[in-house]
Amino acid sequence: MGAPLRRVLHPAGSDMSESSFSWRKMAVEDLAAVGEIAALVHPDLPERPEVFTEKLRLFPDGCFVLARGAVRLGYAFAHPWRLNDAPPLDEFLNEIPLSANCLYLHDAVVLPAARGQSAASRLIVLLRALAARRALPALALVSVYGTRRLWRRFGFAVVESPELAGKLACYGASARYMIAPLS
Ligand SMILES: CC(C)(COP(=O)(O)OP(=O)(O)OC[C@H]1O[C@@H](n2cnc3c(N)ncnc32)[C@H](O)[C@@H]1OP(=O)(O)O)[C@@H](O)C(=O)NCCC(=O)NCCS
């Protein structure tokens, strides 16, 4: 294992208790670390750094880093979007649609060292609050890697249609579109 990979997988320090890390707003300075984490966790679903940069520029309120001090342990990108629609992977959004009617969680990653300590649960609480502030009536996401059971726990349900199936093709065979109404 090379030094950069070891550094990302096993961040310095050993306190990985739940209270030792928290979600905070992402900054431009976080993007290099976010790219490293993404490349590590999503080797088969790569996205260009500039695609991440665009999301942070278009909707900074929906971009978060899981951090313990200066150490990044995960990230999340969310933005307003249209229900029953999934933006193509590794493509620019260009703009946030005026007709947005959900908060779409594009990606959430928690590094193995911090998993199983409710980071994803706490992220969903943040996203629900953000969607409510923006008067967006639902959360939506594309589940990959068989994470459907996890998202179901947070109120998401799978929605299927031939049109969605075409849009999910770029996310791999395990991809399922899911919606969690807020009310
Ligand atoms: C999916 C992921 C973000 C979950 O993060 P996390 O902080 O470990 O999740 P939480 O601790 O909040 O988990 C909540 C519950 O879901 C369970 N869970 C976690 N990952 C799961 C998975 N992949 N499948 C099913 N259940 C899962 C946890 O065991 C926990 O249950 P518990 O409360 O009974 O212990 C993290 O595992 C990850 O980054 N995975 C790789 C990338 C990925 O799959 N991202 C999501 C793409 S849609």
| CA distance to 41, 124, 140, per residue, from 75 (Å) | 11, 13, 17
Asked whether residue 11 carries a pLDDT value surpassing 80, the answer given is no
CA of 115 to the centre of ligand 1 (A): 7
CA of 41 to the centre of ligand 1 (A): 13
What are the domain boundaries of the chain? 3-7+20-181
pLDDT bracket for residue 6 (50, 70, 90): low
What's the whole-number mean pLDDT along residues 126-139? 98
Asked whether residue 7 carries a pLDDT value surpassing 80, the answer given is no
Mean predicted lDDT score pLDDT of the chain: 93
Asked whether residue 5 carries a pLDDT value surpassing 60, the answer given is no
Q: Does the CB atom of residue 128 touch ligand 1 within 6 A? A: no
The closest of 86, 175, 83, 180 to 139, measured between CA atoms, is 180
Pocket-testing residue among 22, 77, 147, 148, ligand 1, by greatest number of atoms within 8 A of Cβ: 147
pLDDT bracket for residue 160 (50, 70, 90): very high
> pTM, whole model, 2 decimals?
0.91
Q: Does the CB atom of residue 66 touch ligand 1 within 6 A? A: no
The closest of 182, 137, 181, 179 to 158, measured between CA atoms, is 179
The ligand 1 atom at the shortest distance from the C-alpha of residue 110 is 39
CATH architecture assignment, domain 3-7+20-181: 3-Layer(aba) Sandwich (3.40)
- Residue labelled with tokens 């770029």: 170
What pLDDT digit, counting tens, does each position of 16-63 carry?
666 689 999 999 999 999 999 999 999 999 999 999 999 999 999 999
Task: Write down the pLDDT at residue 93.
Answer: 98
